[in-house]
Amino acid sequence: MKVIVTENFNESCKLVAERIATIVKEKPTAKLGLATGGTCEDIYKNLIDIYKKENLDFSKVHTVNLDEYIGLDPENELSYRYYMNNHLFNHINIDKANTYVAGGIGDVDKIVEEFRSKVSENGAPDFQLLGIGVSGHIGFNEAGDKLHSLAHLEDLQKSTIKANSRYFEDESMVPRKAITMGVGEICSAKEIYLVATGESKKNAIEGLIMNPYVTTQNPSTILKLHTNAVVVIDKALADLVGYKY
Ligand code: GLP
């Protein structure tokens, strides 16, 4: 696992967007694992800028998203399907039929089955983008006694519900369950970029980059086992956790 420290969050977003653009240029049929959350919004803005400036071609790109809330339909503005359309897919020449965000409504067992097959369909993702939750979750794989390798239904932790309540009218409106790619599937990607910024991510990032241990209590630490994982943080966060660069 490699750590890159940037001047500031804008630089982090630029760097990651440029990496995604390079992958798409080199392999127009690339399969990208994508993420949601506030952190990724600016990465997508940068990617759209590159798309416009350089005529980047997404027409043959396939994407699969990390997770979705249970109970929100795709038209719901707080669903991750809506987020992806709104922040990326509506602004580039991707064929929406080539994009997959697990459904939040319907038979969960069937969705899980479909999700698992989408992750492995036509080989592993070439790239996986990740944010990180306050307790170190990736996708919606929450800290606990065990981690799931494959896509599954997850109960969201209080800290996650609280952190994500900023998008909802109030905390009681945040879904209590989500469907998420498992950590084994996340790690099947050929290359992974995890991006973090801000004080709220201090503990999670400390656990990820300041010691050599892997623990289910901080799911992001599984990335230490991946040979091509990159953690992108800004100087402010690096200083906060005492990482020397
Ligand atoms: C959600 C998503 C994660 C994301 C995390 C952090 O819980 N399921 O994939 O990494 O939020 O989001 P933010 O970037 O808004 O802090």
Residues 16-39 have pLDDT tens digits of 999 999 999 999 999 999 999 999
Reported pTM: 0.97
Nearest CA to ligand 1 atom 11: 37
Q: Which two tokens stand for residue 222?
A: 């599984």
Q: Tell me how far the alpha carbon of residue 39 lies from the centroid of ligand 1, in angstroms.
A: 7
96: confidence class by pLDDT, cuts 50, 70, 90: very high
State the pLDDT at residue 238. Answer: 98
Tens digits of residue pLDDT in 39-49: 999 999 999 99
CB 31 within 8 A of CB 123: yes
Is residue 160 lining ligand 1, measured as CB closer than 6 Å? yes
Is residue 167 lining ligand 1, measured as CB closer than 6 Å? no
3-class secondary-structure state, position 131: coil
Cα distance between residue 143 and residue 158, in whole Å: 11
Is residue 139 lining ligand 1, measured as CB closer than 6 Å? yes
Tens digits of residue pLDDT in 150-187: 999 999 999 999 999 999 999 999 999 999 999 999 99
State the pLDDT at residue 24. Answer: 98
Is residue 34 lining ligand 1, measured as CB closer than 6 Å? no
In angstroms, how far is CA 226 from the centroid of its own chain?
A: 16
State the pLDDT at residue 95. Answer: 98
> What secondary structure letter does DSSP report for 157?
P
97: confidence class by pLDDT, cuts 50, 70, 90: very high
Is residue 66 lining ligand 1, measured as CB closer than 6 Å? yes
3-class secondary-structure state, position 3: strand
Counting from 1 in the atom list of ligand 1, the atom nearest the Cα of 198 is: 16
The mean per-residue pLDDT over the stretch 99-115 comes to 97
Strand extents, DSSP E, 26-66: 31-34, 62-65
State the pLDDT at residue 109. Answer: 97
Q: Is 63 exposed, middle or buried (0-12, 13-18, 19+ CB in 10 A)?
A: buried
Q: State which of 45, 132, 223 you would mutate to test the pocket of ligand 1, scoring each by most atoms of that ligand within 8 A of its C-beta.
A: 132
3-class secondary-structure state, position 224: helix
Is residue 131 lining ligand 1, measured as CB closer than 6 Å? yes
The mean per-residue pLDDT over the stretch 60-76 comes to 97
CB 49 within 8 A of CB 60: no
Counting from 1 in the atom list of ligand 1, the atom nearest the Cα of 180 is: 8
Nearest CA to ligand 1 atom 3: 139
